[in-house]
Structure 1
Amino acid sequence: MPREPIDEHSQRRLLGDKTVKKTKTISRRAFFGQSSAASLVVLASQKVSQAKPINVPREQVAGSAIEQKVDAIIARMTLEEKIQMVHGERLTGFIGYVPAIPRLGIPELTLTDGPAGIRHGPGTAFPAPVALAASWDRALAESYGAAMGAEAKAKGQNILLAPMVNIVRVPEGGRNFETFGEDPYLTAQIATADIKGIQSQGVIAEVKHYAANNQEKQRLTVSAEVDERTLREIYLPAFEAAVKEARVGSVMAAYNKVNGTHSSENTHLLKDILKNEWGFDGFAVSDWGATHSTIAAANNGLDMEMPTGEFFGAKLSEAVKTGQVSEATINDKVRRILRIMMRFGFFDRPAAIGPIDYNVQAQVGRRVAEAGVVLLKNEGSLLPLDLNRLKSIAIIGAYVDRATSGGGGSARMSPLYTISPLGAITQRVGERIAVKFVRFVPGNDLSKSDPATTGAALIADTVKIAKSCDLAIVFARDFETEGDDRANIDLPDEQDQMITAVLGANKRTIVVLNTGAIVLLNKWVDSAPAVIQAWYPGQDDGNVIADVLFGVVNPSGKLPLTFPRARQDVAVSSPEQYPGVSGKGQYSEGIFIGYRHFDKHKIDPIFPFGHGLSYTTFAYSNLKLSRTQIKAGEPLTVEVVVKNTGRRQGAEVVQLYIQDLEASVERPIKELKGFEKVRLKPGQSQLIKFGLNDRSLAFYDPAHKRWVVEPGQFQVMVGSSSRDIRLTTTFSVT
């Protein structure tokens, strides 16, 4: 079909004077190995009679003006131009691209990955999203989003394919590092703040992957067989919050099927829920290559195909001409796209390359990484380390001389710089302490062991060096990537054996984990005096860990995931559930995922959801409710006082859980419904307030298609983790 040409000036502006070449193959997967506030700006000037003043909200006025402008453009568009708007085109250097229509003044759309950095050339490698979730800090999440939005904008990109809000269901999941964990409330809260930050920079956030996209194995074909209540209570709340609270501009439809229908043509997801029930007024985009039809996808709610027009190009044009898809349906898609483009000011400010201060970006990334570090264990207050009491440190690990800047796939970054744990610790201690580095080599080939020259050592030499030092710090990591789930949740490359051997050689051993999600620790954790979970900290990996080890940073992260003692302890543990049988993954665990499952079956995890220690201590007191009896629909305020009872300044995440004690349906023993992160000096106290509403108490009733709050008694639990509840009280709903 005819396309509007891109002029030479636009080509040079977008690609920095590089030659632009259209190709036959370009997709997000092709980019995996590569590096890579304005809101409502179009305002109406309405004349209002002074005799009858009308108070119209500014946003409503702006929205009305936008709709008028959009309708005027659509009225001038040919069918070919409309079709051009609803699919991508392949263009070298771009993850996703929709060309401009100069005749109508419509600018181009430039789409880029991803959730942990802007994959449009080298840039800032931010901490993995799971580290952000571990911060439990909404303000920091907004800063994280704003920094990514600013960098996307500076690189000439106006749609950021982030955040990823799928719930961790399968512990082996290759993209678990991209998530915000296992809990729908925590995920929704962090995602909402992240989206607000991204969009504050005039960049559209595209929340993904809608919906129930919880595994990489067979992700293109598997059908998530999930009941409506589970879908609503576990897998959709973050998307709902993105639409209703953050006003996200775009939603990405997932690869997988949901209950037998591809997400990209699933009318229940895209039309019934997203657009009709939630009132989403933005546009739904397919994941790259996830469109499977023309007529069904077009009529069932997909607005844009990416990265090409295989189904939404000539085939869609023909379907309109033959009456299989109405032009009104096409107009709705175009209207949604143009509406958001205008809302974000793209007509006045087309995508353009601009300046960015990478030092500021790095500072944001480092703050997030530090706030996300979780101190899992610290027996005998081994941490923080006192340099004045050490003469020698053994630094041991297979990958400790390389930064764990991130995972793979569409979240993989080519950072401008990195610093490894070995490099940072060596810099920090200087000449005061002898640092003995051992690069652990799995296997038993003696020719690979040469610690004196290369640092490479087998277990026997590792043990000798660990014994010879005052302290050992052993590092372990995993490898997660889009496109492939892990084979299991053990640490790879004999790292468990390495850790066990070092712990046997030196009882003053600290274990630092750079993993993207859950790993099994049961082989050695009981013998380890100190364990740190640092996730994938981004480009400042080494600096962040050194700051925590030496007490420059007091860790305040909390787990967004439950760490099990054994793989069979996890809710999803049968082949029918994962990877699925005959193309169907049965979500038979229902709403009992993560800590809900552990509570229901009275299973003790190694480290529970919400767990995280500090170098100081906190006391809870004076739990109060605004009322002990409310009617359905009435709000309730919960108050609690938290005091820093230690000697260091620190931050505590105060967590509020709810239990319905008299439910007519099976409900979790506890559900996270509030949290606040508070920073306190030694001896300082602060009053924390939580607001609860109907949704805080409700379950979804599929029969009546609504959220229900039943009369009866509810328990409020406030504490430092899901298994460290400090105070409880009850109230009743009449």
Structure 2
Amino acid sequence: MWFSVATVAALAASANAQATSPPSYPAPWARGGTNEWQDAYTKAVAFVSGLTLLEKINLTTGVGWEGQQCVGNTGSVPRLNFRGLCLQDSPLGVRDTDENSAFPSGMNVAATWSTRLFKSRGNAMGSEHAGKGVDVQLGPVAGPIGRVPEGGRNWEGFSSDPVLTGVAMAETIKGIQDAGVIASAKHFIGNEQEHFRQAVGGLTKFAYSANIDDVTMHELYLWPFADAVRAGVGSVMCSYNQVNNSYASQNSHLLNYLLKNELDFQGFIVSDWWAQVTGVASAFAGLDMTMAGDQNLASGDTFWGSNLTLAVLNGTVPQWRLDDMVVRIMSSWYKVGRDKTAIPINFNSWTLNTTGFAHAQAQEDFTQVNWHVNVQDDHAALIREIGGASTVLLKNTKNALPLNKPKSIAVIGEDAHDNPGGPNACGDRGCDTGTLAMGWGSGTANFPYLIAPVTALAAQAAHDKTKFANVSDNYDLKAIAAAVTGADYALVFANADSGEDYITVDTNQGDRNNLTLWGNGDALVEYVASLNPNTILVLHTVGAVILEAHKNNPNITAILWAGLPGQESGNAITDVLYGKVNPQAKTVFTWGKSREDYGVDVVYTAAEDPLQLNFNEGVFIDYRHFDKYNIEPTYEFGYGLSYTTYKYSNLKIEKLNPGPYQPTHGTTGPAPTFGHIDLDPAHAEFPPGFNAIPFYVYPYISTPVPTGEPQNWPKGATDGSPQPLIGSGGSPGGNRQLYDEMYTVSATVTNTGHVKGTEIAQLYINLGGPNDPKVVLRAFDDLILDPGESETFTYQLTRRDLSNWDPVSQNWVISNFPKTVYVGASSRNLPLSARLH
């Protein structure tokens, strides 16, 4: 069934709708515009101009769940031998296949604070997707950004800070698209918890509404997506939830105004799988592609497909809106060079067997579906490097680390050991058995192998002729006591897991129920430390856990956070423990002393429908919240130790003169149409004798074209006349002058220790206003320094870095409040500061 905008609004209004999303119509049409997009746009226009109505519809609509090889496939254009697009998870590797790599999580690579590693990881993942025949990699992730520490999918993204996330998004996208694959930035926007992100059968009829004010949207949640658009991302994926009581997949303010107008996004917007809830309304609101194409899992029904064909035939959806959808899709395809680099799809998401059904849901066309193409290349070395570079050394006392051929060690904990069923024993990693190297859900990939910590540590011990003992059972206290008593070092491993809401692990439905260690982990750590005065704690967690007691335990001499390091987990942690790698990582979230310290939490029960998630904290999440309320954390954002020491000095600031800010003015051209559309309904019907595959979504119609049905469509939705440009827009990522350089900031960083190391220099700013955070991150760099060596950290502060969003003028402004720059080693260790003049 299709709902009009008015019907959907009435349904939502039946609940306690506290926030509203302003309408913005019509959907902006692509224009190419920048040099980066213009050639691709020209090619896309030429291609689309030659398509029929049904062929255009086919490229906008998925063929349905398990309809073809990929987790998402659009329809094809057989006449032109164009197979359509293959969209495939995930943001850490190619999902649901074999002979692929399992990369570290986004959270891990962010902890390296290395733009080189951001881009290298993206490029390696992109090349693996390309090698499997994938057109669109469903990643990277900026939503969730990590508003609540218990959020189930925080680990898929990068950081709770928008600047670090934005830089990681941009570099990852460049890496993926340089490999010839379209990146899809997700989830747009406000998907900050798993509970009630969708309607829950028997509990709620609607997804929750993330109620976000204009300032918070711009200064926090939209910020990294602006960086993604500026980096040239080809696709953006909508989230499941509502934003200000309008579903993200049909929220015209989000899609038309913010993304396509203000950020000048030239690519295509795709729904998350079954996140689309209306047909025509979502087309008018800016959606360009629907996935998986069916209305719900394997329904065979669709909001678009044949229904979109009917809507064009009866004049409801104008040709220019359909043409714009397809031009955006094909512009992205040409932009990354898919016309030159695409190869046949050589895997099947629904079976790892060589043979299977080409149409798995319908159980039709049994044939070869997997060619088992090995795409791993030498990526294991990169994965190991990121694993080591992302391991945060949180505590190191009594010269515990690095280890140097100890006489004896004991390795304790299930998390150090293999899953007895193998690393892929649980579908989509939906269990917490053995060592944890990725969370669960659609953001996963199959492991080609997984090096458990005990494997690598045992090998190192054998090389060093170190006496070695290990216990995998967290509850076998007798065996643990025997192993750790008298050992030079006791290495205890513990974890905390989370993931997507369609899987529940140990009563955790996606989001974590608490911030404690799993599998009796906290009690295990305390017990080992009570027996061994050199206990080293290694954590594989999806985010923060409560560590205050362990930090203050004198028998716990070192604590390391290894996150979710991927397939080379054991080798990476061994590299760090033994000093082959000097830790450079800094934590990308704040470690509170209690869950209450964060000020926000997952809402686990819905007292209203839709649940109203009011983001009343504004921009004050994570370290910004801790700073505002003067809460002492266990470990602050940006914190991390090294095996050497560093000194900061010689802060200098040079004022530049880029000229005044000019809001964008003018209008667009009229909405263009490309080619001729045959409006004869008889030519849109199933061809005689056509063998329709069950559950498969087609563009053909089988019902009469509806006429004379009045619809209360939003004002301007079908208006193809020239439209005014908005002052804050005009270029990818927003007004081009936001990126004018205003000041050059430099400082000297010196390695004052005796070991070569990499220091992450961090630049923060106080914007001076009474409602501004104490400090916000604006820049960072990884400086590789030999003992005694100094290097200059330099960054050009942009107009955007110094601006606040003004909801009245709907533009960025630099306030008159005094602004101060800080440089140092973490958000609370900033020895250098200077006022901007």
TM-score (norm 1): 0.86
1:642 is aligned to 749
**Which amino acid is the alignment partner of residue 247 of structure 2?**
H
**Which amino acid is the alignment partner of residue 138 of structure 2?**
L
- Please give the alpha-carbon distance, in whole angstroms, between the structure 2 residues aligned to 1:153 and 1:575: 39
- Contact residue 125 and residue 405 of structure 1 kept, 8 A: no
Determine which of 514, 517, 520 is the counterpart of 2:543. Answer: 517
1:352 maps onto 2:344 in alignment: yes
- Give, in angstroms, the shift of residue 324 of structure 1: 2.2
- Give, in angstroms, the shift of residue 278 of structure 1: 1.2
2:409 is aligned to 393
- Contact residue 222 and residue 580 of structure 1 kept, 8 A: no
Runs of at least 5 residues in structure 2 that lack an aligned partner in the other structure: 1-31, 199-206, 295-301, 347-372, 419-434, 502-509, 662-740
**Which amino acid is the alignment partner of residue 428 of structure 1?**
Q
Determine which of 76, 86, 89 is the counterpart of 2:63. Answer: 89
2:639 is aligned to 611
1:479 maps onto 2:497 in alignment: yes
1:550 is aligned to 578
CA gap of 1:258–1:110, structure 2 versus 1, over 3 A, is: same
5 Å-filtered alignment, 1:447-462, equals 457-458=476-477, 460-462=478-480
**Which amino acid is the alignment partner of residue 521 of structure 1?**
L
- Contact residue 92 and residue 103 of structure 2 kept, 8 A: yes
**Which amino acid is the alignment partner of residue 88 of structure 1?**
G
- Please give the alpha-carbon distance, in whole angstroms, between the structure 2 residues aligned to 1:396 and 1:171: 27
CA gap of 1:525–1:580, structure 2 versus 1, over 3 A, is: farther
**Which amino acid is the alignment partner of residue 296 of structure 1?**
A
1:503 is aligned to 529
Determine which of 563, 566, 569 is the counterpart of 2:591. Answer: 563
- Give, in angstroms, the shift of residue 77 of structure 1: 2.0
5 Å-filtered alignment, 1:124-523, equals 124-166=101-143, 167-220=145-198, 221-244=207-230, 246-309=231-294, 310-352=302-344, 358-387=376-405, 390-402=406-418, 403-430=435-462, 432-442=465-475, 457-458=476-477, 460-483=478-501, 484-523=510-549
- Give, in angstroms, the shift of residue 576 of structure 1: 9.9
- Contact residue 153 and residue 499 of structure 2 kept, 8 A: yes
CA gap of 1:240–1:62, structure 2 versus 1, over 3 A, is: closer
- 2:48 alignment partner, SS class: helix
Larger CA deviation: 528-537 vs 344-353:
344-353
Larger CA deviation: 536-545 vs 484-493:
484-493
- Contact residue 123 and residue 176 of structure 2 kept, 8 A: yes
- Contact residue 632 and residue 694 of structure 1 kept, 8 A: no
- Contact residue 555 and residue 614 of structure 1 kept, 8 A: yes
2:826 is aligned to 721
CA gap of 1:629–1:177, structure 2 versus 1, over 3 A, is: same
- Give, in angstroms, the shift of residue 577 of structure 1: 11
1:70 is aligned to 44
- Please give the alpha-carbon distance, in whole angstroms, between the structure 1 residues aligned to 2:495 and 2:35: 53
Larger CA deviation: 108-117 vs 337-346:
337-346
CA gap of 1:629–1:107, structure 2 versus 1, over 3 A, is: closer
**Which amino acid is the alignment partner of residue 335 of structure 1?**
V
Number of paired residues? 655
- 1:395 alignment partner, SS class: strand
- Contact residue 416 and residue 454 of structure 2 kept, 8 A: yes
- Give, in angstroms, the shift of residue 94 of structure 1: 1.3
Larger CA deviation: 190-199 vs 337-346:
337-346
**Which amino acid is the alignment partner of residue 391 of structure 2?**
V
- Contact residue 73 and residue 104 of structure 1 kept, 8 A: no
CA gap of 1:383–1:202, structure 2 versus 1, over 3 A, is: same
- Please give the alpha-carbon distance, in whole angstroms, between the structure 2 residues aligned to 1:508 and 1:301: 59
- Please give the alpha-carbon distance, in whole angstroms, between the structure 1 residues aligned to 2:289 and 2:803: 34
- Contact residue 387 and residue 573 of structure 2 kept, 8 A: no
Larger RCO of the pair (alpha carbons < 8 Å, separation 6+): 2
CA gap of 1:630–1:250, structure 2 versus 1, over 3 A, is: closer
Larger CA deviation: 363-372 vs 533-542:
363-372
- Contact residue 474 and residue 521 of structure 2 kept, 8 A: no
- Please give the alpha-carbon distance, in whole angstroms, between the structure 2 residues aligned to 1:102 and 1:322: 26
- Contact residue 576 and residue 584 of structure 1 kept, 8 A: no
CA RMSD of aligned residues (A): 2.1
CA gap of 1:327–1:632, structure 2 versus 1, over 3 A, is: closer
CA gap of 1:628–1:571, structure 2 versus 1, over 3 A, is: farther
- 2:480 alignment partner, SS class: helix
**Which amino acid is the alignment partner of residue 520 of structure 2?**
E
- 1:339 alignment partner, SS class: helix
- Give, in angstroms, the shift of residue 201 of structure 1: 0.7
- Contact residue 646 and residue 751 of structure 2 kept, 8 A: yes
1:110 is aligned to 86
Runs of at least 5 residues in structure 1 that lack an aligned partner in the other structure: 1-57, 443-456
- 2:760 alignment partner, SS class: strand
CA gap of 1:342–1:660, structure 2 versus 1, over 3 A, is: closer
- Please give the alpha-carbon distance, in whole angstroms, between the structure 2 residues aligned to 1:405 and 1:531: 18
CA gap of 1:65–1:557, structure 2 versus 1, over 3 A, is: closer
Larger CA deviation: 640-649 vs 101-110:
101-110
- Give, in angstroms, the shift of residue 272 of structure 1: 0.4
- 2:514 alignment partner, SS class: coil
- Please give the alpha-carbon distance, in whole angstroms, between the structure 1 residues aligned to 2:172 and 2:764: 23
Task: Give a deviation string over 1:619-654, Cα, whole Å, max 9, x none.
Answer: 111011114999866610111000001110000000
- Please give the alpha-carbon distance, in whole angstroms, between the structure 1 residues aligned to 2:797 and 2:606: 35
- Give, in angstroms, the shift of residue 579 of structure 1: 9.8
- Give, in angstroms, the shift of residue 709 of structure 1: 0.3
Identical residues among aligned pairs (%)? 38
- Give, in angstroms, the shift of residue 724 of structure 1: 0.9
2:10 is aligned to none
- Give, in angstroms, the shift of residue 255 of structure 1: 0.5
- Contact residue 63 and residue 292 of structure 2 kept, 8 A: yes
- Please give the alpha-carbon distance, in whole angstroms, between the structure 1 residues aligned to 2:395 and 2:654: 36
1:37 is aligned to none
TM-score (norm 2): 0.76
CA gap of 1:494–1:411, structure 2 versus 1, over 3 A, is: same
- Contact residue 419 and residue 543 of structure 1 kept, 8 A: yes
- Give, in angstroms, the shift of residue 187 of structure 1: 0.2
- Contact residue 572 and residue 578 of structure 1 kept, 8 A: no
- 1:638 alignment partner, SS class: strand
- Give, in angstroms, the shift of residue 364 of structure 1: 1.4
